[in-house]
Amino acid sequence: MKFSYKILLCSLITMAAAFGIGGYFFVNDVFKASLEREIKQATDDSSIMKFAFETAALNIPSKYDMLQNSVIGEIGANLENSGQGSRRLLRLSDENREVLYASEGFVEDTALLADIEDQVRAYQIIHPDQHYYVQTGIMVNALDRALYLETMKDVTEVYAERTRGFAVYRGLMLLILVCSSVVMYFFSYWLTKPIRILTQATKKMIAGDYSYQAEQISNDEMGQLTTDFNHMAKVVEENIHKLEEELRAREDFIAAFSHELKTPLTAVIGYADMLRSRKLDDEKQFLSANYIYTEGKRLETMSLRLLDIIVTKRYQHEPQDMDVAELFCYLQDFYAEKKDIEVTVRYEPGRVRAEGNLLKSVLLNLTDNACKASDPGSTVEITGENRDGGYWFAVRDQGTGIMPEECRKITEAFYMVDKSRSRSHNGAGLGLALCVEILNLHGSSLEIESTPGEGSCFRFFIAGGKHL
Ligand code: ADP
């Protein structure tokens, strides 16, 4: 069942119950008030008749020293016909509760008669022959006799009023329910509009349209739900884009990897085939074997670098406080023997929170790249300074420099600006990718500044350690 129909049904059931119970109590209250009025009137009438009877008895000639049963009957008959317009129903009984006089149609039931006591007015509702009556009973003291006077007042109309009241109320309730169900239908349709909008937005998302934004038509909880839904759709869209980009990068990586693998392998297979199938002179044999060796070495370097990247990605980083002097002294010693290019080291004393070996690997990669890009006789400078609450490392060269559009790409795996130059230096375009992974582990990134023909500067920041 549709949600709007459920709202409609629930409202109608609530309304029907409320109107039904309310109406029942209302009609019944009116009925009770009318019945009480009738009962009061009946008992008042009964008192008046008692008084009338006693007065009539006093006017009986004094020759009768006692009120005869026949006289009582006569007085009763007179009282019965003395009502204005209508005949009164009454019954008179003697001291032994034996009936002396009863109007025609008076009930034969004597239950009330047995209950009448002195000074007490008794009454009951009786229901003979489809009619309702208020039956009253009172004691009458006339001369020396104690008699019982009972009356009957027809209240059928009060009961009929109640039945009519219920019928009218039922009809009215039905009419109200029909009218309100029409109004409620439009209300529930309007109330559930945000749900329909969200359903449509969900369908759009299922169909792949993540940029679809559901229209917000209210500021209540449903409006908030729509805002949250739109926010969720945006986050999902962003995540999907991220995943797509990651997938594309992975595909690019696999394509570049297979390409980088294929080139040396083709050469290795070609030269190996030549060596085994032909008799070559010593020089050609050496050249072929040397080619196989160099390409094999390149493959080895590439696989080691790849392994480094993979290991770094999965590495459980445990940074330690370390003195930067350790690093710079190592680099100074490492490049001390380099003849063609002068590598200088200049640094401020400081401490960093890092993994020493990984940081060493970054600086070695950057310095190697700087040397490869520099002409013989030029200088490569490695510097370090305390700044911004941490430590900045930088490697500067006066080499070839990099074009601005290349700067963004050189950190991608297998990307080489000058492939033949890189390959001649055993490069596979993986060094900077490894540096980026290591710096990521340290919560840092690589900043590149370069001017083609003038040189480049690669720098990065590492959080400071505790000063001892
Ligand atoms: P490779 O192992 O080939 O050196 P890298 O990832 O270290 O791979 O470097 C990617 C490319 O970036 C290199 O092929 C090189 O062309 C370029 N490059 C890196 N450092 C420098 C630099 N200091 N000056 C000019 N070009 C550079």
Phi, psi of 352 (to 5 degrees): -130, 160
Distance (Å) from CA 407 to ligand 1 centroid: 10
Residues 6+ apart with CB under 8 A from 261: 299, 302
CB atoms within 10 A of CB 139: 17
At 219, list the tokens. Answer: 């500021």
CB 153 within 8 A of CB 48: no
Distance (Å) from CA 417 to ligand 1 centroid: 7
CB 133 within 8 A of CB 125: yes
pTM of this structure: 0.55
At 255, list the tokens. Answer: 């394509």
Q: Check pocket membership of 431 for ligand 1, CB cut-off 6 A.
A: yes
The residue whose CA is least distant from atom 14 of ligand 1 is 416
User: Which ligand 1 atom sits nearest the alpha carbon of residue 368?
Assistant: 4
Q: Check pocket membership of 417 for ligand 1, CB cut-off 6 A.
A: yes
How far from chain centre, in Å, is Cα 377?
A: 69
Distance (Å) from CA 29 to ligand 1 centroid: 98
Closest to 463 measured CA to CA, from 378, 377, 359, 392: 392
Q: Check pocket membership of 378 for ligand 1, CB cut-off 6 A.
A: no
pLDDT at position 172 is 92
User: Which ligand 1 atom sits nearest the alpha carbon of residue 411?
Assistant: 6
User: Which ligand 1 atom sits nearest the alpha carbon of residue 395?
Assistant: 23
Residue with tokens 């690997």: 361
Residue 52 CA to residue 43 CA, distance in Å, equals 14
Eight-state DSSP code of residue 88? P
CB atoms within 10 A of CB 408: 11
Say how many CA atoms lie within 13 Å of 239 toward its Cβ.
6
CB 272 within 8 A of CB 289: no
pLDDT at position 243 is 95
Q: In 59-146, which residue ranges form alpha helices assigned H by DSSP? A: 69-81, 111-115
User: Which ligand 1 atom sits nearest the alpha carbon of residue 430?
Assistant: 6
Distances 120 to 17, 82, 191, 337 between C-alpha atoms, Å: 43, 25, 65, 136
Residue with tokens 């008076």: 106
CB 376 within 8 A of CB 425: no
Residues 6+ apart with CB under 8 A from 131: 154, 156
Residues 6+ apart with CB under 8 A from 381: 343, 344, 346, 394, 395, 396, 397
Closest to 39 measured CA to CA, from 119, 155, 131: 155
CB 350 within 8 A of CB 464: yes
Distance (Å) from CA 416 to ligand 1 centroid: 6
Eight-state DSSP code of residue 133? E
Q: Check pocket membership of 429 for ligand 1, CB cut-off 6 A.
A: yes
How far from chain centre, in Å, is Cα 2?
A: 20
Q: Check pocket membership of 306 for ligand 1, CB cut-off 6 A.
A: no
Sign of CA dihedral 246, 251, 252, 253: positive
Determine how β-strand 351-354 pairs with β-strand 342-347: unpaired
Residue 426 CA to residue 298 CA, distance in Å, equals 5
- DSSP code string of 326-357: HHHHHHHHHTTT--SSEEEEEE---EEEE-HH
Residue 311 identity (one-letter amino acid): V
pLDDT at position 351 is 94
Query: Mutation test of ligand 1: which of 366, 382, 414, 416 has the most ligand atoms closer than 8 Å to its C-beta?
Result: 416
Distance (Å) from CA 328 to ligand 1 centroid: 22
Question: What tens digit of pLDDT does each residue of 306-347 get?
Answer: 788 788 777 777 888 999 999 999 999 999 888 889 999 999
Residue 105 CA to residue 112 CA, distance in Å, equals 16
Sign of CA dihedral 423, 426, 430, 436: negative
CB 148 within 8 A of CB 174: no
User: Which ligand 1 atom sits nearest the alpha carbon of residue 374?
Assistant: 24
At 14, list the tokens. Answer: 């609530």
Q: Which residues of the chain have pLDDT under 70?
A: 61-65, 83-86, 119, 426, 467-468
Distance (Å) from CA 369 to ligand 1 centroid: 5
Q: Check pocket membership of 322 for ligand 1, CB cut-off 6 A.
A: no
Q: Check pocket membership of 402 for ligand 1, CB cut-off 6 A.
A: yes
Q: Check pocket membership of 435 for ligand 1, CB cut-off 6 A.
A: no
Q: Check pocket membership of 381 for ligand 1, CB cut-off 6 A.
A: no
Distance (Å) from CA 333 to ligand 1 centroid: 23
Residue 389 CA to residue 68 CA, distance in Å, equals 130
Query: Mutation test of ligand 1: which of 369, 379, 403, 411 has the most ligand atoms closer than 8 Å to its C-beta?
Result: 369
Max alpha carbon distance in the chain (Å)?
181
Residue 106 CA to residue 87 CA, distance in Å, equals 12
312-349 as b/e, with b when 16 or more CB fall inside 10 Å? beeeeeebeebebeebbeebeeebeeeeebebebebee
Angle at which helices 3-58 and 156-191 cross, to 10°: 160
